[in-house]
Amino acid sequence: MIFSLAVYGSPYTYQSSDSAYQFARELLNQGHEIYRIFFYHDGVYNANRLTIPPQDEINISSRWSSFAGENNIELVVCVASALRRGVLDDSESRRYEKDTHNIEQNFTLSGLGQLIDAGIVSDRLVTFGS
């Protein structure tokens, strides 16, 4: 079956992004396909590569990034939600004349249309709220 996930919760505050990750990993273990993982609302903070958790805790953004890289999965961050919350890629950072960008590797900024597209293409769209 083809799945997509929508993640609304910020990491380290809510379990939702951990649950989404574990669900995604298990989907692949069971032979399903993941079309896209879409980060909306506070979920955009999952893409912040500047997070520094204590050494005995998981680095959530880099865990997403390795998972996506190893399994060739699209991680899409809603651009409007991300800009509001200060999650920028290189081109947005230049456009708004900021001094840095902070999006983790393997995440891309794109529009909310990508969430709707994920709903259309996938057999199941599963939401992980806050």
Catalytic amino acids?
78
Query: Among residues 33, 58, 80, 94, which is the contact residue for another protein, using CB under 8 A?
Result: 80
Q: Does residue number 120 form part of the binding site for another protein (CB under 8 A)?
A: yes
DSSP-derived secondary structure for the chain: -EEEEEE-SPTTT-THHHHHHHHHHHHHHTT-EEEEEEE-GGGGGGGBTT----TTS--HHHHHHHHHHHHT--EEEEHHHHHHTT---HHHHHHTT-S---BPTTEEEE-THHHHHHHHH-SEEEEE--
Q: Does residue number 1 form part of the binding site for another protein (CB under 8 A)?
A: no
Q: Does residue number 19 form part of the binding site for another protein (CB under 8 A)?
A: no
**Residue 75 Cβ vs another protein, minimum distance, rounded to whole Å:** 19
Q: Which stretch binds another protein (CB under 8 A): 10-18, 47-55, 62-70, 105-113?
A: 105-113
Footprint of another protein (CB under 8 A): 6, 8, 40-41, 80-81, 111-113, 115-117, 119-120, 125, 127, 129
